[in-house]
Structure 1
């Protein structure tokens, strides 16, 4: 959902989207935007386009600085916020009455603990909500009812991350500069004419230029994150537009369609070419330009071809290389070689380098040992959103197939535990994603975060077989399961510690379609009580006695002997493990 970095090695980030913006926010003395290096609410809304947002209330004006964003739902509004609020809140599914009550509570906070702006789909239709926002001194922005939040949020994040490079109309070196996608979209619009949308390979809009009254319905729908009209998509297939984009770098001229109400467009593919020619170019996305009132410029095709090369570079970089902050965060958690200088990390990420911290790890409970990468990415994104709502200085990342969050200098262990349980339950109820979570706290400073992550991984590894029990737990609460799991790892990883006599029991059951192994497990689980074990198996006690004697004969052990019982229980536990179960690679 968020970003384009590789899902197995992805940094979700901090409460603020980028190191540079974090530093700027710390350095800035006031809350007004006084520098071209700080994005204002006015600039953000202009970039998002009037098709998506409309400013309803601005008690402090629209020049307030926005450098952090959090997506929250009704349950998040009731969570105690331990640190200054994010600058911008996106109210997702929050009812009008709930939002009004929340604004009333916000009005009682100190100024530094209030958000600067809130985006809501209810803003335009509720005078009570508008009045409450005005009383709280918070800007209120209406979001189009058809806009998709999972589309709007990444756009806002990219805007907060973007460079502050300003482009001049007619600059001959315009497309030679390595910019971001939003800047590139604006540059194309200025030099080719029309209105620009840059999409990824799945036709999701990554960036776009400003719209005007000439924008057709197709453009509006794409900006809102909606799929275009079915008849138009069918026409595109019939015209062979998509095939040409997949197969070539040519600029395709898509004619206007009066019946469908669509304007003329130029489109070019964004492709990553393999230098040695060993593989076909990889389709990364496409650039679309809708014609407005004025015709395209004479060199529009050349502009698009140059822009395609720049877009390929930008998208490839985001796919293959995490940011400097991303690498630093992953090293903080002990990945990428680990080893960090705590004071330097604290300065770079604007984090306290002392005081008790908490580390929370999340694992997806799926049928496969390795859940699909898109699920991991989606879960990591949602976790990051909720974490930043609780604490704006939280740090989140994905390493392997797990997501991790650092909460620096937390005030209450109960708040962290409650937040984690609520998040696991919410994702299960709303998104049908089953999670397990482990918490390590207190963590005494940033230098201990990597060790805390190791502890979290131990718990997640050791409690996988106990799901759904212990869905949110700690090492102290799950030490038996964790230590037993690690003992089984050691035994299972050393062939010399495997007892070959158990193979004879498995072979006997397979050959005779018997269940001696199940009988032995029930007998041992009931501590040698034949009647209780027989009741579990629903057989006569004498039948079970006969089976236990056969087990002892086949394996060559005495189940009345404590040492034999302990050994057989360990070996049977190994046999109960799913075939091919492996611990995830973490470093």
Structure 2
């Protein structure tokens, strides 16, 4: 910014350092128009870009907004990768393939490179494969095609990592009977891996020039994937980026409304979706989970949008008055959890928050939905889907844990004495007392919870009252004792 715009007719200008409300950015847009640029790219940086849109329209250039967290280097690489593939796409082998027809593309690659070809996404999901009858295949490839997922194998992760790190084709030899050697290459847009190409190199071996042909095929595949993304999901990707910015409070309500295509006063409900445990299998399940979340939410409302943040998928769903939106969203979430479990064997927790009356309330809803997820992760009542109303008490307890209430240390503290006694003597007074208080003093329920005889439980309760001067007939003692034992359990 601050420098004259160079002459580059039909070029794309990256307004590095600019923001849509600044006067120098508006001047750059005007200069870009006089120098016949096709587009100018800016970062919103949470600002209103109405003035920039007006100037771009007046100058006759397209105004593009890139996510704030995408570096200019990454964007430049994406544009370069798109342009680099265009020339190659005009070669005879690829010229007649429709954009996005990955199966036709796989056949063309197999013909040009010389071996059966599979196109996979970075998670190992099969996107397309060649089916030329004269080319040899093997059992691993057959299973990949049948399951639409590369089989999990001990050396598989290392092979994927090796291919993704390499800047060109990689030869992967196999000593397993009946399994062909493979040549593989990562399909890139800049430093981003869009997919992987796998070509069988068996008998006969791939001809001379196969590696150069595979590099060309990777460029063509990148172009197809980027163009498909532009046609089918660029708007969705941009809206997902806008939702991520809104959830983190990095964008104003007005800008979020523009980018999401939702009026700022549209009531919305937020779903936070997470796997139940960290050891739940990832990979295929993870990708399909996101697809299913998006599909289910869009079925409820076409303007619903999903985004990922770490291990959580957030879905923002507009709701309408007069149709009990809370019940509809709960039913959606329950059906979604069941569908994901059925299709991917990935168990989910779904926290629901809202409705938010305005988009500016969505970050607060995220905080609530995250609290609900934390409460569900405790798992004491095995809920899969919940709102704050369902788990309010547990959320309060978790907040107390976060504030350090579980670590209270007082002199002559009977609870600490009880815990210390159990540690020294390998007794179970702590477990017994918590079960007894959880059961509201009902001995039969408490005994069943810890698998002891009812008389044994009653004896322990009498004994611990004698040993630690606990008067369980006093309401305050019961409350404080239960609360501290429960917090300690949650903090464990």
TM-score bracket for this pair, using the shorter chain length? 0.5 to 0.7
Aligned in 2, Cα 1:181/1:491: closer, same or farther, shift over 3 Å? farther
2:271 to 346, 360, 380: 360
C-alpha distance in 2, partners of 1:465/1:202?
A: 29
Q: How far apart are 1:427 and its partner, in Å? A: 3.1
Q: How far apart are 1:481 and its partner, in Å? A: 2.7
C-alpha distance in 1, partners of 2:406/2:435?
A: 26
The residue aligned with 2:480 is: 567
Q: What is the 5 A alignment of 1:363-378? A: 363-366=274-277, 368=278, 371-374=280-283, 375-378=285-288
C-alpha distance in 2, partners of 1:569/1:532?
A: 16
The residue aligned with 1:558 is: 471
2:309 to 383, 387, 399: 399
The residue aligned with 1:80 is: none
Q: Are 1:332 and 2:246 an aligned pair? A: yes
Q: How far apart are 1:340 and its partner, in Å? A: 1.5
The residue aligned with 1:47 is: none
Q: What is the 5 A alignment of 1:140-539? A: 167=87, 189=109, 197-199=118-120, 204-206=125-127, 216=135, 218=137, 226=145, 267-270=183-186, 285-288=196-199, 300-305=210-215, 325-334=239-248, 338-366=249-277, 368=278, 371-374=280-283, 375-411=285-321, 412=323, 413=325, 414-492=327-405, 494=407, 496=409, 501-525=414-438, 527=440, 539=453
**C-alpha contact 1:270 1:311 (8 A) present in aligned 2:** no
| CA displacement, residues 69-108 of structure 1 (integer Å, 9 cap, x when unaligned) | xxxxxxxxxxxxxxxxxxxxxxxxxxxxxxxxxxxxxxxx
C-alpha distance in 1, partners of 2:172/2:389?
A: 64
C-alpha distance in 2, partners of 1:437/1:550?
A: 43
Per the alignment, in what secondary structure is the counterpart of residue 274 of structure 2?
Answer: strand
Per the alignment, in what secondary structure is the counterpart of residue 315 of structure 2?
Answer: strand
Q: How far apart are 1:357 and its partner, in Å? A: 1.1
Tell me the TM-score normalised to structure 1 length: 0.49
**C-alpha contact 2:397 2:487 (8 A) present in aligned 1:** no
| Structure with more relative contact order (C-alpha pairs < 8 Å, separation 6 or more) | 1
Aligned in 2, Cα 1:507/1:493: closer, same or farther, shift over 3 Å? closer
Tell me the TM-score normalised to structure 2 length: 0.56
Per the alignment, in what secondary structure is the counterpart of residue 394 of structure 2?
Answer: helix
Tell me, which stretches of 5 or more residues in structure 2 are unaligned?
1-81, 230-235
Paired positions, count: 369
Per the alignment, in what secondary structure is the counterpart of residue 461 of structure 1?
Answer: helix
Aligned in 2, Cα 1:285/1:567: closer, same or farther, shift over 3 Å? same
Q: How far apart are 1:313 and its partner, in Å? A: 12
Aligned in 2, Cα 1:313/1:501: closer, same or farther, shift over 3 Å? farther
C-alpha distance in 1, partners of 2:244/2:443?
A: 53
Aligned in 2, Cα 1:324/1:423: closer, same or farther, shift over 3 Å? closer
Aligned in 2, Cα 1:217/1:445: closer, same or farther, shift over 3 Å? farther
**C-alpha contact 2:375 2:394 (8 A) present in aligned 1:** yes
C-alpha distance in 2, partners of 1:514/1:564?
A: 22
Q: How far apart are 1:399 and its partner, in Å? A: 2.2
The residue aligned with 2:73 is: none
Per the alignment, in what secondary structure is the counterpart of residue 183 of structure 2?
Answer: strand
C-alpha distance in 1, partners of 2:328/2:380?
A: 23
**C-alpha contact 1:202 1:285 (8 A) present in aligned 2:** no
**C-alpha contact 2:110 2:199 (8 A) present in aligned 1:** no
C-alpha distance in 1, partners of 2:447/2:462?
A: 14
C-alpha distance in 2, partners of 1:313/1:409?
A: 38
C-alpha distance in 1, partners of 2:469/2:385?
A: 41
Tell me, which stretches of 5 or more residues in structure 1 are unaligned?
1-161, 255-259, 276-281, 580-587
Q: How far apart are 1:227 and its partner, in Å? A: 5.8
**C-alpha contact 1:201 1:285 (8 A) present in aligned 2:** yes
